[in-house]
Structure 1
Amino acid sequence: MNTLVQGPARTGTTRLSDGRLLGWGEWGPTSGTPVLFCPGAAMSRWLGFGADVLEGLKVRLISLDRPGLGASTPAPGRGLLDWAEDVRGFAAAQGLERLPVVGYSQGAPFALACAAKGVVTGVALVAGGDELAYPALRGMLHPEVAKLVDLSAAEPARAEAFFAGMSVQMMWDMVIGMSSESDRAVFTAPRFAEAYRRALDEGFMQGSAGYARDTVLAMSRWPFDPGAIRVPVDLWYGGLDTSTVHSPDQGETLARRIPTARRQLLPQVGSALLWTHSEDILRSLLSRTG
């Protein structure tokens, strides 16, 4: 178990066919198996995971900034499936084939969109944001989350404007405030906190509109059927995860909805399991997509 974090070994941008740029950061050997990373809310390409195991696993981890975050060109009005097409264009431009993806927290629906569109060969969702607007989850939602889900459905423009009021400090305070004691111990450790804050600074570099659009999409119904996903999906949840915006039932309902899903619930960890169990997560993903 290790929470080593390092800045990306390589960074850059890739131009898509419509002229927009996608910012990216990489860790691990350039000759390794490429694994895409869809990071959490407002996290940019600057915070990866598994820095101490990538060489041994021969993994080239590639984190992408979603539009409007970090170094990626904004795309107002974009949807989840638009992100899948962005990833398709990125993979083609980079010559990447058989690309699995890891989605963390708010990055989960973006990773699943890639699976639904056939862009990736497998998915690992870690502390994944569930489809919060799915009717069966309604009674499990925290009341404040339920209000935001309703607002996103009824008045998406107003919801987006509300989320655009977020700042780096507010995001940090929200994450730490809703974290369990075990997660706070990881997130506030000096080196991790420095890396996380750097990622948020970069994520908000162009303002808050990118985060706001992501969050409206995360609070809305997904434009794809999870039941139609055919690639392997690993769901990883920590029993000590106290976030109100991940999964209210720790992925049980989502696992039933995805026919290829395999759920792992680790009782003694929280949402920081992406960093405390990086090797397990990557080994499982590689074994199912190899």
Structure 2
Amino acid sequence: MYPYVQHVFVNKISNYFVIDDKNMMNSKDRNTNDMEAKSDSSSSFPPGIIKKSLLIIFVNGFLAWAYQAACPPPPKKLGSPDGPPITSPRIKLRDGRHLSYKEYGVPKEVAKYKIIYVHGFDSNKHFAVVATSASWALIEELGIHIVSFDRPGYGESDPNPNQTLKSSALDIEELADQLGLGSKFYVVGFSMGGQVTWTCLKYIPHRLAGATLIAPVVNYWWPRLPMKLSQEAYSKQFIQDQWSLRVAHYLPWLTYWWNTQRFFPSSTLIANSPDILSPQDIQLLPKFTAGRAPLLEGQIRQQGEYESLHRDLNIGFGTWEFDPMEIENPFPNNKGSIDIWMGDDDKIVPVTLQRYIAKQLPWINYHELKGAGHLFPYADGISDAILKALLLGKS
């Protein structure tokens, strides 16, 4: 849009100059007898034309600046001489992209339960909380194999410029097939990874043995959410977060500019602000940061913030292709379990919306933890409880 607008403005400016030149020449031809008297005025542009031209030049310059500021830089190409190195195994998808992954637990050849873990916002495959916080005794006893992967644009997975909600689910299905996880597998998604889990329930329910959504992020614009309830929850978010989500929903092409400009405060999550932490979250911070070595932490955004964080916002808070509250029970014969785990003191995801969603989908097992924030899976014993509920049906 902007290059076209700039082109139009440039043409208009040129037309003004051409028209003015013609008028000046015609004026000279018609008024040769008065040329000497009017030489001063005919040698310069009329004041009105000058003002218009300057205004157009200013607007054109502003649009050019705005266009450049809104355009994200190209991603840093993985494995290139100037790009981040590739340090983990990857699979090649049908469309030519690569997904990087990491395996935890017992070997898949002897595993009874195979789980794909979906990381959240500003994270990657190294921080699979149910794999890193669960007790090894439980993982070994039950025979659990966990695969965590970098979502597109994060870590060492290629960006997907055509990413959609459906493509996220199909990536997971292809990952499972290439790694030989079997015809059915489990999916566990944390925070924004919970949104991806909804897409699996929508698009590949036939491949699921069960699924768990841990503090899943809610899109305030899902059609079936009551407007008043959604607005109340939205209004309790920090004002800068409200604006970040508004931009992602209504003006996704401005997401990069909004989250990199310095005129107004942007997302508290991107800024890693402690203001979004609950009292329990603050207590759990040492456990949360214990395994986050600087090298692994640095991999999260290494391809660029737009391809990871900003695209995440645009898809997660954009207009969805479906409403999760329209999803049908994938296990009408109770041969699998779908669980939502939520803390009632979560400062990032409104518990009021989660409660409403759980009521609309009575086939979901809803677990709400009193006094828990967003980081509750890092609390002692919680990851074990999450896995037992998913795999054994034990609350």
Q: Partner of 1:46 in structure 2? A: 126
> Is contact 2:125–2:149 with CA below 8 Å preserved after alignment?
yes
Q: Partner of 1:269 in structure 2? A: 372
Amino acid at match of 2:196: F
Q: Which consecutive residues of structure 1, in runs of 5 or more, have no partner in the other structure?
A: 1-9
Q: Of the candidates 325, 332, 357, which is equivalent to residue 254 of structure 1?
A: 357
Q: Partner of 1:177 in structure 2? A: 275
**1:159–1:255 CA distance, 2 compared to 1 (3 A):** same
Q: Hey, what's the Cα distance between the residues in 2 that align with 1:171 and 1:201?
A: 16
Amino acid at match of 1:44: N
Q: In the alignment, is residue 18 of structure 1 matched against residue 123 of structure 2?
A: no
Q: Hey, what's the Cα distance between the residues in 1 that align with 2:199 and 2:260?
A: 23
Q: Partner of 1:228 in structure 2? A: 327
Q: In the alignment, is residue 157 of structure 1 matched against residue 253 of structure 2?
A: yes
Q: In the alignment, is residue 139 of structure 1 matched against residue 224 of structure 2?
A: no
Amino acid at match of 1:150: R
Q: Hey, what's the Cα distance between the residues in 2 that align with 1:198 and 1:185?
A: 24
Q: Hey, what's the Cα distance between the residues in 2 that align with 1:203 and 1:164?
A: 17
Q: Partner of 2:156 in structure 1? A: 71
Q: Tell me, what secondary structure is at the counterpart of 2:345?
A: coil
> Is contact 1:40–1:107 with CA below 8 Å preserved after alignment?
yes
Deviation of 1:219 after TM superposition, in Å, equals: 1.5
Q: Deviations over 1:248-282 (max 9, x none)?
A: 51611221333421211110322222222001111
Q: Tell me, what secondary structure is at the counterpart of 1:249?
A: helix
Q: Hey, what's the Cα distance between the residues in 2 that align with 1:172 and 1:194?
A: 20
Q: Stretches of 4+ moved more than 6 A in 1? A: none
Q: Partner of 2:65 in structure 1? A: none
Q: In the alignment, is residue 37 of structure 1 matched against residue 120 of structure 2?
A: no
Q: In the alignment, is residue 123 of structure 1 matched against residue 123 of structure 2?
A: no
Deviation of 1:236 after TM superposition, in Å, equals: 0.5
**1:132–1:16 CA distance, 2 compared to 1 (3 A):** same
TM-score (norm 2): 0.63
Q: In the alignment, is residue 102 of structure 1 matched against residue 188 of structure 2?
A: yes
Q: Hey, what's the Cα distance between the residues in 2 that align with 1:252 and 1:128?
A: 12
Q: Tell me, what secondary structure is at the counterpart of 2:292?
A: helix
Q: How does 1:73-92 map to 2 (within 5 A)?
A: 73-92=158-177
> Is contact 1:161–1:212 with CA below 8 Å preserved after alignment?
no
TM-score (norm 1): 0.84
Amino acid at match of 1:264: H
Q: In the alignment, is residue 56 of structure 1 matched against residue 141 of structure 2?
A: yes
Q: Partner of 2:389 in structure 1? A: 284
Amino acid at match of 1:28: G
> Is contact 2:250–2:318 with CA below 8 Å preserved after alignment?
no
Q: In the alignment, is residue 111 of structure 1 matched against residue 111 of structure 2?
A: no
Q: In the alignment, is residue 237 of structure 1 matched against residue 342 of structure 2?
A: yes
Q: Hey, what's the Cα distance between the residues in 1 that align with 2:357 and 2:319?
A: 13
Which structure is higher in RCO with an 8 Å CA cutoff and minimum separation 6? Answer: 1
Q: Of the candidates 197, 204, 207, which is equivalent to residue 304 of structure 2?
A: 207
**1:58–1:182 CA distance, 2 compared to 1 (3 A):** same
Q: Hey, what's the Cα distance between the residues in 1 that align with 2:273 and 2:383?
A: 20
Q: Hey, what's the Cα distance between the residues in 1 that align with 2:393 and 2:202?
A: 17
Amino acid at match of 2:360: R
> Is contact 1:108–1:128 with CA below 8 Å preserved after alignment?
yes
Q: Hey, what's the Cα distance between the residues in 2 that align with 1:196 and 1:251?
A: 32
Farther off after superposition, 220-229 or 39-48: 220-229
Q: Hey, what's the Cα distance between the residues in 2 that align with 1:194 and 1:95?
A: 28
Q: In the alignment, is residue 148 of structure 1 matched against residue 247 of structure 2?
A: no
Give the CA RMSD over aligned residues: 2.6
Q: Partner of 2:32 in structure 1? A: none
The percentage of aligned residue pairs carrying the same residue is 22
Q: Which consecutive residues of structure 2, in runs of 5 or more, have no partner in the other structure?
A: 1-86, 263-267, 331-336
* More helix as a share of residues: 2
Q: Deviations over 1:28-74 (max 9, x none)?
A: 00132211111111211111224324223321111111111011011
Deviation of 1:163 after TM superposition, in Å, equals: 4.1
Q: Tell me, what secondary structure is at the counterpart of 2:246?
A: helix
Deviation of 1:287 after TM superposition, in Å, equals: 2.6
Q: Deviations over 1:169-192 (max 9, x none)?
A: x75753533111211221235x73
